[in-house]
Structure 1
Amino acid sequence: MGEGWTFAGEATQSGGDSVTLIEGSSFCLSERGGDLVPGTPHGLFHRDTRILSVWQLRLDDEEIDPLSVIAQEPYEALFLGRARPRPGYSEATVLLERRRFVGAGMREDLVLRNLGNEAAACVLTLRAEADFADLFEVKEGRVRPRGQYGVDYGDGVLALTRQWRGESRGVRIVAEGAISSPGQLTFRAVVPPRGTWRSSVLVTPVIDGVETPTSFPLERPVEQAGPSVRTTEWRASGPRIRVGDESLALTVRRSRQDLGALRIFDPERPDTPVVAAGAPWFMALFGRDSILTALMSLPLDPQLALGTAQTLARHQGTKSDPVTEEEPGRIPHELRFGVEASLALGGTVYYGTVDATPLFVMLLGELCRWGVEPDAVRALLPHADRALTWIEKYGDRDGDGFVEYRRATDRGLANQGWKDSWDGVNSADGRIAEPPIALAEVQGYVYGAYLARALLAERFDDPETAGRWRERARQLRDRFNERFWLPEHGWYAEALDGEKQPVDALASNMGHCLWTGIVDAGRAPAVAERLLSPEMFSGWGVRTLATSMAAYNPMSYHNGSVWPHDSGIVAAGLMRYGFPDHARRVAEAVLDAAAAFGGRLPELLCGFDRAEYAQPVPYPAACSPQAWASATPLYLLRVLLGAEVCVPHGVVRLDPHLPTRFGALRLTDVPLGTARVGVTVTEDGTAEVTGLPSGVTVTRERCACTAVDPPR
């Protein structure tokens, strides 16, 4: 991966007292005063390794009183603090400015401002330490010393290193005008009355003796640095929205900004963006998360979706390895590049996911529908076929026609669907399902993958292949509805367990089955009613697990919480099956939650009922921003517009069901094939589309290839 990933994002706050700055493979988590406090998750991280574990600034051996933090850009923040009053003085007269830039390490510009009428003699000390702990060790609180540590210093330079397992990690700290000593840099300054003193500190990662060039060198204006340029370009590009509801407008703007924040760029292919899963701990490419985010945000930036598909294809499995769970054709779960990434899930690339592989094929189908670079999509067809081979050879090991999972070793994820916590799949009585487990939504994704491959075959003039995959889709649909439907309950099983018995919990998974179209049309009304029942619908979205289930806990990760992306997919499924009122209720609930969070949806929220608490209750450890949560408002807008695209068949479907409170809506510069499209919806619901590519027409009817019961 060369020098690692680069990032274009926005500063975030993690909890009430922490601030996170991120730029690609580097991020910094600090307290609000700017210090990195020992014994906490604070640190400067580069390529999944903590290269600074302590960074504490003192003025005359006293702590600095924090005043404010201004997070101006994804990678930049200004920390303001004041010196404590000197003996004999009632007020402090020295203000400290710490302007921090994160990117391939860190740069910190220090300014002392003397607001008094006498010169101020100051001793500024900066304590710096590095444990070079793996990101997962830090996140999970299991840091311990490893290897041989070293310190070198002199002439304003402090170098910290660690040797372990034949590899070297280090950090070089250079401070203008400082006196260096073990673990500390000291500045002695005399600040004139009403004057200022300035210095800068550069923190550079060193990997196996090679320094990583900083993103913010002192000799270059900040606005010309790579992260600054990418952020400016993102804000100037892409679709624009004008809507009467200011809350929706704010949410859409925030979602767009956060998706820009979560883009990462491989330096080996700097023109190929992908989307990372979430900040701060998951600034990496994740198969499932990145694919679903790309699918949901495709109208915003098709290149992000294409880049995600191309990058995952490059890492598609080629061999069998039980430690990493790699198998030929399998799409990765997660890519990590720290020296101790193997401490997490077995390797720098871990493949233990059951759903990323069919979702990958679905993504290629959606790229085809939107007319994205046909030659680039055609080049990915061999990867689609390898993925389908994995589905039928490795995904369905017992040949029962369903894709199931069981982890290969005790180091892997026990659950390998999107509800991947250890207790994420359980029966109505609370019993944990035993593997191998065939999840309901995964069968839906496989169904969607078969139909996507059929569309791709049609697009590239291969009708025989198209017919074969449509027939496989039909057969899977029949099997699924026979085995997963629970007539005594009136809902679909969440899964089949290792004994091929239904896991009978009432869960949101069946909403994903609506989304892909695998649900029998005659059973869809019952599913729609269950999903909007009081036990499933919280008023802020659809719960992952019904309140009537034994394992329900509104404060759990997957057993009763509300995940915005999950509810967004449910809303899309409801709209697909002709339940616009149900879909609108879900969409409005999630968008109301977004407004309550200031326009930024977190990864998940607690599943308490809206009637119980007037505001959504945050889940404490939720990522924010998080990729598929950020994409959800954009996707919900698409759902409410009833917007579907199939350029190969010359169809754009538009059937708006917008809430009246939104007022009139206008979208401009929406990419569609080689064109830029405009969409206008008046307050009375009249819709108009302009700028369509040649041969594409607008209709309220769904394209035959996306119908609930597609033609054979």
Structure 2
Amino acid sequence: MEDLGALRLYDPDHPGEVAVAAGAPWFMALFGRDSLLSSYMALPLDPTLALGTLQTLARMQGRNADPRTEEQPGRILHETRLGADLPLARGGSNVYYGTVDATPLFVALVGELRRWSIATDQVDALLPAADRALAWIEQYGDRDGDGFVEYERSTEAGLFNQGWKDSWDGINAADGTIPRPPIALCEVQAYVYAAYSARSHLSAAAGDEGGAEHWAGKAEALKRSFNERFWLAERGWFAVALDGDKRPVDSLTSNMGHCLWCGIVDEDKAARVTAHLSSPEMFTGWGVRTLASSMGAYNPVSYHNGSVWPHDSVLVATGLMRYGFVEEAQRIACGLLDAAVAFGGRLPELFCGFDRSEYPEPVPYPTSCSPQAWAAATPIQAVRLLLRLEPRTVGEVWFDPAWPDRYGAIRIRDLPLGGRRVTLTVDQDGGRLEGLPDEITVVRRARPPFGPVRLQETPVGGDR
């Protein structure tokens, strides 16, 4: 929390809104994807970070089509650079829009914040920006109308890869070759599914039957086509991407763990995905490698091809927990918390992908940011997934702790939930939430994978 506080950003023209920088020293600026994911993970303890990040990004949302900066109407920015950082800007402007995932993540976070019943009026005021983002997904993100969002840079000054693994070689096939763009990443389709699902819930909450039906239908169609086109049945994992010829890019990566997190994975495939993500090829004992050790481009000291990124690993663990793979999720979460202790209480942006059996402590990556926002938020998310705490959109909260005995009792005070500040306790007597409004029921089971909702259904935020 101290590190997230140190990375806060304020716009002097809007002093009441706070966002979060990506990390120090290289990324002390607003980054769409980083700021959205960081504030999502910090939401249970500091919801103002998510609200301020959304408000700031909405003000800077794309309005025009400019190939130099890759701005497009409705698109959420990749990064801003000001002052001494201006020479680092891409496209000759202080704002660069070349990211494919920030836009659906924006919509998903609007829905997530609404479920926590925080600043409802201010969240609802973001709906026009969310709808512009959804329009970008359909008009610009899906370049060829096949139902999948893909990217290809429009300027040589732009990023070659525009997902979270945005190094030039961050996306590669099992044999190490670099695929030809446009690239449709697996996790981006999952984020779009989460965005469609979130919009269906927002419509249902507003009594908009047509809107809920429309966005639920979009989500369900995308889930069907994703599981058909990305699934590699002979290997038991999802392709990391489709290339420019719509062929699967067949490497084994952590990206598919984000697909579990967002709920786009069919239940009958989840066990095989989990087996790979928790295998020695991928799980180091500290976290999940970005690329399996059996792949052609694997290098434990690379930026995206075998290193461990804490935020990536904790989202993988969250996905495993949501699909009911409790022990596997606990192992990853506990490994990350062990790594945090080894790093003196501060997880870095990434660390090397060497196995825990080889080295008694995680091996630092030489130029990683520290503090870095989504790494700082990772322990918060790890605690949340172990507590299995999730609000629903109508009068209920999932709370079914899978809290490891090794950590003893935990008490969190002033937790924002249901429009109140509550106290959460897990000890030898079980888990308790004290201070909730009388109209909110605590459901003693884990939240199922996320999905859309229709108005005639009970809008419960996640299960169908």
When the two structures are superposed, what TM-score results if normalisation uses the length of structure 1? 0.63
Letter in 1 for 2:444: R
Matched, 1:698 2:424: no
Contact conserved, 2:322 with 2:449, CA < 8 A, in 1?
Answer: no
Residues 485-496 of structure 1: matches in 2 within 5 Å?
485-496=231-242
Gaps of 5+ in 1: 1-255
What is residue 360 of structure 1 aligned with on the other side?
106
What is residue 379 of structure 1 aligned with on the other side?
125
Contact conserved, 1:651 with 1:703, CA < 8 A, in 2?
Answer: no
Matched, 1:306 2:51: yes
What is residue 331 of structure 2 aligned with on the other side?
585
CA distance in 2, matches of 1:340, 1:561: 27
What is residue 640 of structure 1 aligned with on the other side?
386
SS class of match (1:273)? strand
Contact conserved, 2:80 with 2:89, CA < 8 A, in 1?
Answer: no
SS class of match (1:271)? strand
What is residue 653 of structure 1 aligned with on the other side?
398
CA distance in 2, matches of 1:633, 1:468: 37
Go from structure 1 to structure 2 and tell me whether the alpha carbon gap of 1:386 and 1:554 turns closer, same or farther (over 3 Å shift).
same
Letter in 2 for 1:445: Y
Identify, as 1 or 2, the structure richer in helix. Answer: 2
Residues 105-124 of structure 1: matches in 2 within 5 Å?
none
What is residue 275 of structure 1 aligned with on the other side?
20
- 1:695 shift after superposition: 1.9
CA distance in 2, matches of 1:422, 1:683: 50
SS class of match (2:73)? coil
Residues 67-466 of structure 1: matches in 2 within 5 Å?
256-338=1-83, 341=86, 344-346=89-91, 347-466=93-212
Go from structure 1 to structure 2 and tell me whether the alpha carbon gap of 1:509 and 1:607 turns closer, same or farther (over 3 Å shift).
same
Identify, as 1 or 2, the structure richer in strand. Answer: 1
Larger Rg: 1
* Partner deviation per Cα, 1:313-341 (whole Å, 9 max, x = no partner): 00000000001000000000001123772
CA distance in 1, matches of 2:94, 2:62: 13
CA distance in 1, matches of 2:448, 2:407: 30
What is residue 456 of structure 2 aligned with on the other side?
none
CA distance in 2, matches of 1:307, 1:576: 28
Contact conserved, 2:104 with 2:134, CA < 8 A, in 1?
Answer: yes
What is residue 613 of structure 1 aligned with on the other side?
359
Go from structure 1 to structure 2 and tell me whether the alpha carbon gap of 1:340 and 1:565 turns closer, same or farther (over 3 Å shift).
closer
Go from structure 1 to structure 2 and tell me whether the alpha carbon gap of 1:455 and 1:708 turns closer, same or farther (over 3 Å shift).
closer
The runs of at least 4 aligned residues of structure 1 exceeding 4 Å deviation read 702-705, 707-712
CA distance in 1, matches of 2:16, 2:88: 31
Contact conserved, 1:545 with 1:552, CA < 8 A, in 2?
Answer: yes
Go from structure 1 to structure 2 and tell me whether the alpha carbon gap of 1:640 and 1:443 turns closer, same or farther (over 3 Å shift).
same
* Partner deviation per Cα, 1:204-263 (whole Å, 9 max, x = no partner): xxxxxxxxxxxxxxxxxxxxxxxxxxxxxxxxxxxxxxxxxxxxxxxxxxxx11111111
- 1:447 shift after superposition: 0.1
Letter in 1 for 2:246: K
Task: Count matched residues.
Answer: 455
Letter in 2 for 1:539: G
- 1:282 shift after superposition: 1.1
CA distance in 2, matches of 1:624, 1:343: 19
- 1:674 shift after superposition: 2.5
Go from structure 1 to structure 2 and tell me whether the alpha carbon gap of 1:295 and 1:547 turns closer, same or farther (over 3 Å shift).
same
% same residue: 63
Contact conserved, 1:373 with 1:673, CA < 8 A, in 2?
Answer: no
Contact conserved, 1:517 with 1:708, CA < 8 A, in 2?
Answer: no
SS class of match (2:17)? strand
Contact conserved, 2:323 with 2:448, CA < 8 A, in 1?
Answer: no
Matched, 1:525 2:271: yes
* Partner deviation per Cα, 1:369-421 (whole Å, 9 max, x = no partner): 10011111111111011000000110001001100000001000000000000
Relative contact order (alpha carbons < 8 A, sep ≥ 6): 1 or 2 greater?
2
- 1:700 shift after superposition: 2.1
What is residue 219 of structure 2 aligned with on the other side?
473
What is residue 159 of structure 1 aligned with on the other side?
none
Go from structure 1 to structure 2 and tell me whether the alpha carbon gap of 1:461 and 1:704 turns closer, same or farther (over 3 Å shift).
farther
- 1:464 shift after superposition: 1.7
Matched, 1:687 2:418: no
Gaps of 5+ in 2: 454-461
When the two structures are superposed, what TM-score results if normalisation uses the length of structure 2? 0.96
What is residue 183 of structure 1 aligned with on the other side?
none
CA distance in 2, matches of 1:257, 1:508: 28
Go from structure 1 to structure 2 and tell me whether the alpha carbon gap of 1:617 and 1:324 turns closer, same or farther (over 3 Å shift).
same
What is residue 458 of structure 2 aligned with on the other side?
none
Go from structure 1 to structure 2 and tell me whether the alpha carbon gap of 1:371 and 1:494 turns closer, same or farther (over 3 Å shift).
same
Contact conserved, 2:418 with 2:440, CA < 8 A, in 1?
Answer: no
Go from structure 1 to structure 2 and tell me whether the alpha carbon gap of 1:395 and 1:563 turns closer, same or farther (over 3 Å shift).
same
* Partner deviation per Cα, 1:132-158 (whole Å, 9 max, x = no partner): xxxxxxxxxxxxxxxxxxxxxxxxxxx
CA distance in 1, matches of 2:326, 2:115: 23
Contact conserved, 2:215 with 2:452, CA < 8 A, in 1?
Answer: no
What is residue 407 of structure 2 aligned with on the other side?
662
